[in-house]
Structure 1
Amino acid sequence: MHKELIQIQEVGPRDGLQNESVILDTQSKIKLIDMLADAGLKRIESSSFVSPKYVPQLGDAEEVTKSIIGKRDGIIYTSLVPNVKGAQRALQSGAKNLAVFVSASEAHNRANVNMSIDESMAQLEKVAEKIHESKGTLRGYIVTSFGCPYQGEVPVETVIKISDRYAEMGASEIALGDTTGMANPEQVKRLVSKMLERLDGKAKLAVHFHDTRGMALANVYAAFTSGVRIFDSAIGGVGGCPFAPGATGNVATEDMVHMFTCMGYDTGINFDKLIEVNHFLQEKLGKTLPAYLGKVSPVWKSEVTKIK
């Protein structure tokens, strides 16, 4: 096993659930988060302080956040916030690790938050001030970093410009989002290499891939070989953006943990417990989840392995 630890940011309770038609009750969400922590996940994006009018699934963000903050040592719970009001709600609920977002596509940003990129960044500067006043940490998402369903290609220069502004705001981590699964491995290598060179240690770089076109794991591997060590994923491969046509699930946590484990890298996650979480969520949502490793045994338990 390689000594280097792969960091996984579990986004299932937020990005995974936000587009699901079945609304989970608050206690089920809390249990889901607790089970993920029991499985060894140290970074969990637990909810989003968006308007319940637009994302009813996350209307209980305050209650969920208050129930989990301070419950366990060593777990980083992150709350997504869209604006100053959302940040205030999150901070009042006890959240300390907040994430914000902006699209690298003007068209998608308009569809998502009805603002231009510059308008969004000006607002997020005020959010960052609130976070830093509360001694919190800031994670900045750059969504549609690899392509947009409205405008197609997204200029690399736009992604880098947003990254620079996040760094100026004091973001400790910047996450490149492939919102509708348009990225390919060669594109990932190019953008990740440029981003790591540009950041030069000012902030950590993470990636967030969707499996819309079946390339999520390939893109994870491309980012890994280019130097990224922080990866977003969702239990069961659930997820999707309400304001991005065609967006389907995130790369599945089970599948990604399986891949890195087979490669000899440590994720710190108990795979068997992770599958228990898959089964729990599957039962709650009333459907089979996309994750491959929720349907088949891991390589190390397969018949071929036993024969060898």
Structure 2
Amino acid sequence: MSRALPQSEPMTDLPPRVTIYEVGARDGLQNEKGVVPTDVKAQFVRRLVAAGLQTIETTSFVSPRWVPQLADATELLADLGEVGRGPLRPVLVPNERGLERALEAGVGAVAIFGSATETFAQKNLGRSREESVEMFKPVVKRAQDAGLWVRAYVSMCFGDPWEGPVPVGQVADACAELMDLGCDQLSIGDTIGTGTAGHVEALLAELGRRDIGVERIGVHFHDTYGQALANTLTALRAGVSVVDASTGGLGGCPYAKSATGNLATEDLVWMLDGAGVETGVDLDALVETSVWMAEQLGKPSPSRVVKALAGA
């Protein structure tokens, strides 16, 4: 597959290297209506590894009643073997039971997921923010005792479909509550894609005042309003060097109309290649993987770069 290359003009105010935290196999697939076969998921992960992605969130040990698409978490990790284990293959866990299943599968890293708003905490976790933090305490402690790396997701950091704008201080409080449990990394999520560059700058500054430095932060932007790359660039200029993205732009937000899903990994890599930032990702291989996965799902990739390079 021949393709154009972005003209590389290094930007001096960006990190020299960015870690892409790939969420396509978990966050990208979890809302798909048709169940994706386990062997297809396993091949997807292996293709992502072959394309140079290192940190790949593979699945989630949530109740099958909540997310039927990921009911095969144990089977998937068994299929992947060593490829699905270690500190660079995190899985999502909602509670101690999920952690137990993850430990039985031999994982090396886990992620918990909280909320910056009370409404979403109730809808997503069935409990208040305070109650969810209490639920996560033993999860983080047991994970740490087992030598696992732990990430904390916080959703609705840039707006909530029920509560509207979310005060920056409230978001920082929610982030601090989870990081105080001892998590290694924080991912701030623009769940409905309404964030803007100034908002990103303000939140990162407030987190810094709470002693949560950019070296412990990853950013997770949705592209509902076309702001994901602009918001990412703002975060990178502030010193963030971990960016969540989904190959092919897989995933969507059920809480935002016309949501286009996660930031596409290919779009991110194109921007970073052009800015002279290292990612270790082979864009050709990644585009080929996206085209292949789109065929498995029976729908085109929303990634602009995939469309351009694959001639879609």
Are the counterparts in 2 of residues 32 and 277 from structure 1 also a CA contact under 8 Å? yes
1:107 is aligned to 2:125: no
CA distance in 1, matches of 2:209, 2:82: 36
Matches within 5 A, 1:200-211: 200-201=212-213, 204-211=216-223
Question: Structure 1 length normalisation: TM-score?
Answer: 0.91
CA distance in 2, matches of 1:254, 1:223: 18
Matches within 5 A, 1:190-209: 190-201=202-213, 204-209=216-221
CA distance in 1, matches of 2:274, 2:83: 32
Distance 1:24 1:61, change over 3 A: same
1:291 is aligned to 2:303: yes
CA distance in 2, matches of 1:112, 1:74: 28
Q: Percent identity?
A: 38
**Structure 2 residue corresponding to 1:10, chosen from 22, 44, 51:** 22
How far apart are 1:192 and its partner, in Å?
A: 1.5
* Gap runs ≥5 in structure 1: 299-308
**Structure 1 residue corresponding to 2:261, chosen from 225, 234, 249:** 249
- Runs of 4+ that moved beyond 4 A: 72-75, 200-203
Distance 1:34 1:135, change over 3 A: same
Matches within 5 A, 1:57-206: 57-71=69-83, 76-201=88-213, 204-206=216-218
How far apart are 1:291 and its partner, in Å?
A: 0.3
1:269 is aligned to 2:299: no
- The letter of the residue matching 1:262 is G
What secondary structure is seen at the aligned counterpart in 2 of 1:99? strand
How far apart are 1:114 and its partner, in Å?
A: 1.2
1:42 is aligned to 2:57: no
Question: Any idea what the Cα deviations from partners look like across 1:205-264, whole Å, max 9, x if unmatched?
Answer: 00000011111111111111111110000011111245x343541000000000010111
Comparing 20-29 with 62-71, which one deviates more in the overlay? Answer: 62-71
1:224 is aligned to 2:240: no
> Which position in structure 2 is the counterpart of 1:236?
248
CA distance in 2, matches of 1:260, 1:140: 25
What secondary structure is seen at the aligned counterpart in 2 of 1:29? helix
* Gap runs ≥5 in structure 2: 1-9
What secondary structure is seen at the aligned counterpart in 2 of 1:222? helix
Comparing 43-52 with 190-199, which one deviates more in the overlay? Answer: 190-199
CA distance in 1, matches of 2:67, 2:57: 16
Comparing 260-269 with 65-74, which one deviates more in the overlay? Answer: 65-74
**Structure 2 residue corresponding to 1:21, chosen from 21, 33, 38:** 33
Are the counterparts in 1 of residues 176 and 212 from structure 2 also a CA contact under 8 Å? no
Comparing 101-110 with 74-83, which one deviates more in the overlay? Answer: 74-83
Are the counterparts in 2 of residues 174 and 203 from structure 1 also a CA contact under 8 Å? no
Question: Structure 2 length normalisation: TM-score?
Answer: 0.90
What secondary structure is seen at the aligned counterpart in 2 of 1:281? helix
Q: CA RMSD in A?
A: 1.9
Are the counterparts in 1 of residues 86 and 108 from structure 2 also a CA contact under 8 Å? no
Are the counterparts in 2 of residues 18 and 241 from structure 1 also a CA contact under 8 Å? no
CA distance in 2, matches of 1:174, 1:59: 26
CA distance in 1, matches of 2:288, 2:207: 36
**Structure 2 residue corresponding to 1:258, chosen from 270, 288, 310:** 270
Question: Any idea what the Cα deviations from partners look like across 1:75-132, whole Å, max 9, x if unmatched?
Answer: 7101001111111111111112000011101111111111100000000011111201
Q: Which has the higher strand share?
A: 1
Are the counterparts in 1 of residues 87 and 109 from structure 2 also a CA contact under 8 Å? no
How far apart are 1:203 and its partner, in Å?
A: 6.4
Distance 1:90 1:75, change over 3 A: closer
How far apart are 1:167 and its partner, in Å?
A: 2.5
How far apart are 1:297 and its partner, in Å?
A: 3.0
How far apart are 1:74 and its partner, in Å?
A: 8.0
Are the counterparts in 1 of residues 215 and 239 from structure 2 also a CA contact under 8 Å? no
CA distance in 1, matches of 2:197, 2:68: 35
